[in-house]
Every structure is written in structure tokens, then in C-alpha cells.
A and B are shown apart, each in its own frame.
Chain A
Amino acid sequence: MVIELTALAENLIVGLLMGSFYALMAVGLSLMFSVMRIVNFAHGEFYALGGYILYYLTTLFGLNNFLALPLVMAGMFAIGLTVERLLLRPLLVEALGGEYAIITTFGISLFIVNFAIAFFGPEYKTPPSFVPIFRISLGTLYVSGDRVLVSLIAAGILLATCLIIYKTRIGLAMRATAQNRDGAMLCGIEVFKTNMTATGLAAMLAGAAGALLSPIMLLFPEAGSIPATKSYVVIALGGMGSLPGAIIGSIVLGVVESLGTVLLSAAYRDAYSFLVLITVLLLRPQGIFGVKVREV
């Protein structure tokens, strides 16, 4: 099948846009893993929760999406802090290990899904769009204008997150904790406070992704499961705990899925990401940006 240049360009753009959404999810997941060594299985549900908060702020209170978004992020940050303080910290204090954290985050995931079914209903909801649907046409090439705008907002949030991590004291504390938890404590870093901030930031990013994407991708209680699955692929692809790896991994994933669909078949769209993941892991088991760790 001969693919025209226009089709290739359009799909490349679509892939890049999707990559920016995946990155928003994956960076939060990666941040939490690097700082706390916990894989958060409720990350997808934080996404859905962000979408629901936006939905009710805009439909019940009539807020504009642009005003509602910072409130969603603030709300999700607070939820993240609460989850860390009440549910995750006791595990770390008691040094109960990763398997307890897996069970706990899995429990949080089930709780949020069932809470959403009971209180928000199982049906699909569509929050109002950030801007009305419009098309950007560049000759014969069409791009969805509202998606471009939303992905620009996503890029802005990612940039702000990177600035927090690389240019602030709390960011320094997070990086230090990620590098060596005991060393960070010896240097006077309040590790639990750092954990709390990392969980808050992770929940905030997932919530922002949900708020930005739910007007485009619809909202329902299990809406976060697919974005979360992609995020797990992304952080393994980019290197566990690596933020640049999460961003690059997301873009690679978005583009591979998009081009795979058009060049091969749409039926195996979800398989392409795993194919890339397997290839990368065979050639570079630590992921694209991961570093080999030797423990003695």
C-alpha cells in the first residue's frame, strides 16, 4: 500500500499530539516510582478523577475550562498528598516493601472505579471542550485545532513540572531522594515530605491529563485504564524513573502507534507499543534513558 506524504505527515502530527498526552501521564508515574519506588496502580484512576472534577466544575458550577483546570490540578494535588499521608506512608514507615504498596494502590484503583460507578454513574460523560472543535488546514493537510491547543497546554504543564524538578529546592530534594534515599536523609532532607510532594505532583499530572483529554476522549469510570497501561509501557521504554525517558518514550509510543495503524493495521494498535517495548528491552534492558544499577 502506497502511503501519500500528506497522510504520513498527518499521522506524524497525530502521533506527536498523542505523545504529549501520554507524557503527562507517564511523567507523574515515573516521578512517583523514582522517588518512592512504588508503582502506582491507581494512576489511571487519578486520570479519571481529574476528568470528573473538571466535568462537575464546568457543568454544575458553570466554570470555564481554563479556570477549572488549575482547580482540578490543585484538587488532585491535595488528593495525592492525602493518599501518601494516609495510605502509603504507613507502608514506608513500617518498611513493608513494594508488594504491600502494589496491593494498596490496586485497592485505591478499585475503590475509585467503584466510587465513580456509584456516584457519577456508569454512563459516558463529555465535559465541554476547551475550545469549540475547529480544523487547522495546511493545504491538503488537516489537523484538529482543539487537540493542538490541548497538547500545547499539556506541553506547558510538562515544562513547568520539569522546572519544579530541576530548578527548585523541593525538586532537588526529590532528585536526591530518587538517587539515594538514605543519603538524602543523612543530608537533612525530609524524605516523607518529599514523598508527599512527589505523590501530589503525580496525582496532579494524571488529573491534568484527565481534565485535558476527557472532553476529547469521553469520560467513564474506567477511562483511565488504557492511558495508565500506556504509561507503564512508556516508563519501561524510557527507563524506569527517568523523566526525559518518560517524555521521549511517550512521543515514540504516540508516533509508532499512529504510523503502525496506517502502515499495517488498526486492529493491532495496542500491540505495536508492546512490540517496540520488547525490542527496546531486548537491546537495552534498562530502557532508552535508564542506567544500569549494580547492587552489592
Chain B
Amino acid sequence: MSSKGGIGAKTLYIIVGLVAVLVIAVGVAYYLSLPPAGQEVQVIKIGGVGPLSAPGASIQGVELKKGIEIAVELINQEGGLLGKKVELVFEDTQGTPEKGTTAMEKLIMQDKVPIVVGEYHSSVFLAEMEVARKYGIPIIDASAWSSTIRTKQYREVFATAPCTALNAEHEAKFIVASGFKNVLILAEDTDYGIDMARDLTSALRRLGFNGSVVTEIVSRTAKDFTPTLLKYKNLPTPPDIIVLPATPPAGFLIIKQAYEIGLVPEIALAYEVTGAGDRYTELWPAVGDGGKYLVYFTPYSPRITLTSLGDKVREIYKSRYGAEPTYIVFNGFDAAWAALHAIKKAGSTTPSALIKALETLDIMGTRGVIKFSNATSPAYYYHQWLEVPVLTCQYKEVNQAPTESDIIYPPEFATGTLVKP
């Protein structure tokens, strides 16, 4: 029955018919695209995950992907793996755990990848590693830094990226070696800030540091930090170093305001947010003169001595993209390089064989020999590349570029020494 102005029965049949034809056509096209039965797939797929669009940190995600792509390209130039070419299937996780979970399900179930590398956001990696664990697929954390990722001690999870606890260990060594006695940690009120303050305090204690360590938690969304800074400036014994695990804009505002009230550079200021200190195009306009003598931590400096492989990656990146690679490019490369060599070492793409291969892997990366620790104490050592460099650098001039700032710690990479004005 058709009502006036409604769809007639004939039109309805035509629509249903067209939809049926379309569904059949799509089905046939998909069937034809499948490899013939018995014919083995001539590529080895590896999975990549990372944020390529908002609300994720897309700039970092794109850099990560470029690093992974260079690794796949180099391995294919060497003839591929197990006689086959390697293909990267990269999924955009948009910085959200839900997208990360979906991406992992797709990579494992649909693309049948035997191993996954990547990610930038810790919250997303924490969701992704649950999927990896469910299917027993190894996953290598390229640039997510939460220590929780390591302390869960999943056999499938490996990390070439440093974690916050490992950074804290490095920073504690720098503080002790530099002779500081009174440490103030101004930490933002997030998991990152609070965990970092806790990890740094315990790392200092483990090193036998007997000075004072005070933690003050500040609101990440606040805009005026002068009352907090004045509190410590007016103490009878003010701190001799402030460590600042506070992401921008709060971190940048604290540096600027500490200078405005005369707290720095008289008191040393170490910007903990690893990697944010060398975002100098944002840093300098925001902090102005307050950035002179600023100490910052980074996994990479253009002044670091890379391995020959690292130099090669750097040159490829520079010639292709016309810019100096950031640490994220190297993080992406090293994670993928480890995954590819695990396949080579295992001589198979069976996930359990890959996990065994990763546990005993010993290959040259861009910044040193990549080996995963099997130690379970401290918990964050498990499946972590312990020797991944974490550098302490210092700006000694206003508007100085990271390429010109000195590496002041550890001694094996140092190009200068700490300057206290």
C-alpha cells in the first residue's frame, strides 16, 4: 500500500534491488582481491600505531611514523625479511584509548600483523597493550613514557622509549653529581607530575642523597604561580635547584614567573618535561630571559654522537624532510628496527618466537646497542632498553637553539659543564 506522497511499491523494489546488487558487487570485489588459495602472502606486515590527528599529538605521531617508515625502508633495501618484503600498516589512534584498542584489534585480526610498534600517548598504549596481551602479540613502546607500562610486567610488552622512572633515575644522578643539596620539585597535579615527583624522590634516596627533597604540587590549569614561588624564595634556606615536572603552558609560565620575582637564575631550574625543553620555538617567546641557564632533559641532541646507523637515519631524514630529526623520529626508528630484527632473529613470524627473540636481542640502534632487560626489580626495568640515552642540557644564552646548547650530563656525552650564575 502506498500513501499519497510516500514511496511507491515499485520504487521500493528498485531501491532494494539496487542495494542488493551493490552488496553482491562489493562482496565479489573483496573475494577477487584475496590471494588465491594455497598461494603464500609475499609480504610480512608489521603494525604501527600512533596519533596522526587531533585530539592526539599529531605532530609527534607523524614524526614517529616517519621514523618507523625509514626502518622498514632500510630493511627492504637489505632484501627484506625471510625472503619477503616488509610492509608497514599504520593506524591512527588519535590519542584516545578507544581508538587505540580498535586499531590494535584491526591490526591483529584483520591485517594479521605478528608484531606492533609505536604510540606516543601513555594512556593509549596502556589500552593497546591489553589487546596485545589478549592475543599474545608482542608490542614495542616507541615513545610512551608512563612507568606503569613497564611495571605491569607483561611478557608481550617491550620498550625502546625511556620511561619516567628511568628519566628520574638519570636526573637523580645529575643532581647528586652536580652537588645540589636542597631540591624542590614543583610538580603538576597529574599522574605524570605526581609520579615523577615520587620517582625522583625515591631515585635520590636510592643513590644515598642526604639533602632535603620537598615536593609541592601545583595546579596544571593555574596561570599565576608567583605565590607558590614566593613561598620558597622567602624561606631561610631556599632550594638550590628546582625540578619542574609541569607540562606547558604551566611549566613555561613557572619558568617565566620564577625569573620575574628574582628566583632564577640565582637558583638552578631544571625543566623536567623531557623533550619539551628543546621545543625552543615555543619556549623562548614564552620564558624570555628566564630561560637563560635553564637545564632541560632530552633523549636526543643534535650534538650527541650517533652510531653509524643513527647518522644514516639522520641524513635520510634531513634530505627527505629538510629538517633535523627530533628524538621521536629516532624513537620510532629504534622500536621498528628492534621489531624487524626480532623477526630476522626468530626466523619466523610466530608471536611466541618473536617474544623470545626480543628478550635476547642485541642489535645496534641509532643511539647505542638495543637490549631489553629481563630484570624484574625495580619493576620498571622489565623489558626496558636501559641504555637509551637521556641527556641533560643547558641553555647558556637567551634564544639559544638546542643545536648550540651544551650537553652537561652524563659525562660520556657531555660537551660542556653546568654553569651556575
Q: Beta-carbon contacts of B225-245 to A below 8 Å, as 1s and 0s?
A: 111101100100000000000
Contacts A4-B234, A262-B230 given; indicate if A217 touches B262 (C-beta within 8 A).
no
Partner pick for B227 among A126, A226, A257, A267, CB 8 A cutoff: A257
Contacts A133-B259, A218-B286 given; does A14 touch B221 at CB 8 Å = no
Tell me the complex Cα distance, A117–B54, Å.
10
Please determine whether B282 and A217 come into contact, CB atoms closer than 8 angstroms.
Answer: no
Complex CA–CA separation, A147 to B189 (angstroms)? 26
Decide if B261 touches A7 in the complex (CB within 8 Å).
no
Chain B residues lying within 8 Å of A122, measured Cβ to Cβ, are 54
Chain A, interface residues (CB within 8 Å), range: 35 or more
- On whether the beta carbons of A270 and B234 are closer than 8 Å, the reply is no
Cross-chain contact A124 with B249 (CB below 8 angstroms)? yes
Per the bound structure, the CA–CA distance linking A266 and B226 in Å amounts to 10
Contact B282 A124 (CB under 8 A): yes
CB neighbours (8 Å) of A137 from chain B are 262
- Given B216, B230, B257, which contacts A10 in the complex, CB threshold below 8 Å? B230
Cβ-neighbour of B223 out of A15, A123, A135, A217 (below 8 A): A217
Does A180 belong to the interface (CB within 8 Å)?
no
Scoring A144, A259, A267 by chain B CB atoms within 10 A of each residue's CB, the highest score goes to: A267
Within 8 Å CB of A126, what residues of B? 285-286
Closest residue to A218 on the B side, CB-wise?
Answer: B249
Is B261 touching A124 in the complex (CB atoms < 8 A)? no
Q: Are A218 and B253 in contact (CB under 8 A)?
A: yes
Chain A residue with Cβ nearest B223: A217
Are B234 and A7 in contact (CB-based, < 8 A)?
Answer: yes
Within B110-152, the residues touching A (CB, 8 Å) are none
Within the assembled complex, what's the spacing in Å between the Cα atoms of A217 and B222? 10
Structural contact, A262 and B227, CB atoms closer than 8 A: yes
B350 on the interface (CB 8 Å rule)? no
Asked whether B414 is an interface residue with its Cβ less than 8 Å from the other chain, the reply is no
Are B262 and A267 in contact (CB-based, < 8 A)? no
Q: How far is the CA of A213 from the CA of B248 in the complex (A)?
A: 17
Which A residues touch B228, using CB under 8 A? Answer: 261-262, 266
Residues 160-209 of A contacting B (Cβ, < 8 Å)? none
B279 to chain A, nearest CB (A): 9
Q: How far is the CB of A280 from chain B (nearest CB, A)?
A: 21
Q: A18-B224, A220-B249, A226-B222 are in contact. Are A262 and B217 (CB under 8 A)?
A: no
Does A56 have its Cβ within 8 Å of any Cβ on chain B? no
Q: Is A66 an interface residue (CB 8 A)?
A: no
Cα–Cα, bound, A257→B219 (Å): 12
Contact between chains at A266 and B219 (CB < 8 Å): yes
Contacts of A129 in B (CB 8 A): 288
Interface of A is mostly: helix
**A142 contacts partner chain B, Cβ-Cβ < 8 Å:** yes
Cβ-based interface call for A6 (8 A): yes
Task: Name the A residues within 8 Å of B226 (CB-CB).
Answer: 11, 14, 144, 258
Complex Cα–Cα for A85 and B262 (A): 48
* CB-defined contacts of B54 to chain A, threshold 8 Å: 117, 122
User: What separation, in Å, do the CA atoms of A137 and B262 have in the docked complex?
Assistant: 10
| Cβ contacts B270-297/A at 8 Å (1 or 0 each) | 0000000000001001101110000000
Q: A133-B288, A226-B222, A265-B217 are in contact. Are A144 and B231 (CB under 8 A)?
A: no
A7-B234, A123-B282, A262-B230 known; A270 vs B222 contact (CB < 8 Å): yes
In the complex, whether B252 has a CB less than 8 A from a CB of chain A is yes
A269 at the interface (CB under 8 A from B): yes
Q: Please tell me if B324 contacts chain A, counting CB pairs below 8 Å.
A: no
Q: Which residue on chain B has the smallest CB distance to residue A226? A: B221
| Cα(A149)–Cα(B260), bound, Å | 14
State whether A261 and B260 are in contact (beta carbons under 8 Å apart), knowing that A217-B253, A267-B218, A267-B219 are contacts in the complex.
Answer: no
Q: Which of B218, B222, B225, B252 contacts A124 (CB 8 A)?
A: B252
**Given A265-B217, A270-B221, residue A7 in contact with residue B231 (CB < 8 A):** yes
B143 → chain A closest CB, angstroms: 19
B185 to chain A, nearest CB (A): 12
Residues of B within 8 A of A269 (CB): 218-219, 222, 227
Asked whether A125 is an interface residue with its Cβ less than 8 Å from the other chain, the reply is yes
A147 to chain B: which residues have CB within 8 Å? 260
A56 to chain B, nearest CB (A): 14
State which residues 93-146 of A face B: CB under 8 Å: 117, 122-126, 129, 133, 135, 137, 142, 144, 146
Which single residue of chain B is at the shortest CB-CB distance from A270?
Answer: B219
Report the minimum CB–CB distance from B115 to chain A (whole Å): 32
CB distance from B61 to the nearest CB of A (A): 14
B230's partner among A7, A217, A226 (CB-CB below 8 A) is: A7
Chain B residues positioned under 8 Å from A125 (CB to CB): 285
Q: How far is the CA of A129 from the CA of B288 in the complex (A)?
A: 10
CB distance from B240 to the nearest CB of A (A): 19
Please indicate the chain B residues that have their CB under 8 angstroms from the CB of A226 in the complex: 221-223
Query: Could you tell me which residues of chain B, from 35 to 53, have a CB within 8 Å of some CB in chain A?
Result: none
Chain A, residue nearest B189 (CB): A267
CA–CA, A258 and B230, complex, Å: 10
A4 to B248, CA, bound (A): 31
What is the CB-to-nearest-CB distance from A130 to chain B, in angstroms, rounded to a whole number? 13
Can you list 27 A-B contacts (CB < 8 A)? A3-B234, A4-B234, A7-B231, A10-B234, A124-B282, A125-B285, A133-B260, A133-B288, A133-B289, A135-B261, A144-B226, A217-B223, A218-B248, A218-B253, A258-B224, A258-B227, A261-B227, A262-B227, A266-B216, A266-B219, A266-B225, A266-B228, A266-B231, A267-B217, A267-B218, A267-B219, A270-B221
Q: Which residues of B contact A (CB under 8 A)?
A: 54, 189, 216-219, 221-228, 230-231, 234, 248-249, 252-253, 256-257, 259-262, 282, 285-286, 288-290
Beyond the given A133-B256, A261-B227, A270-B221, please list 4 additional residue pairs across the A-B interface where CB-CB is below 8 A: A126-B286, A146-B260, A262-B231, A267-B189
**Which 5 residue pairs are nearest across A and B when measured between Cβ atoms?**
A261-B227, A126-B285, A267-B217, A7-B234, A266-B228
